[in-house]
């Protein structure tokens, strides 16, 4: 079994060689972010289209009988 401390020492040496000021997400990071942004834009566009088709007016139920005289359009008896 190889010595774990030697592997750790090599990893530390490689990490020190990287300049933290020059590490960037790169082109791949930009492409992934741009693809996510385009996907969200299409989802929002689709949602707005579907929400425009929804009718929020509730039709009265023909089977339900009105329970109060005011619902029938009658004046309350005094």
pLDDT at residue 76 in the model: 61
Residue 56's φ and ψ, nearest 5 degrees, are: -90, 0
pLDDT digit string (tens) for 22-57? Answer: 778 889 999 999 999 999 999 999 999 999 988 878
Asked if 67 and 73 count as a contact pair (C-beta separation under 8 A), the reply is no
Q: What is the length of the chain?
A: 78
Look up the pTM and report it.
Answer: 0.45
The CA distance from 25 to 51, in Å, is: 37
């Amino acid at each position: 079994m190889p010595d774990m401390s030697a592997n750790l020492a090599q990893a530390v040496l490689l990490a020190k060689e990287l300049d933290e000021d020059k590490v960037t997400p790169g082109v791949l990071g930009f492409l992934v972010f741009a693809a996510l942004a385009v996907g969200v834009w299409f989802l929002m566009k689709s949602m707005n289209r579907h929400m425009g088709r929804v009718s929020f007016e509730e039709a009265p139920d023909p089977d339900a009988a009105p329970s109060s005289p005011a619902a029938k359009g009658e004046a309350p008896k005094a």
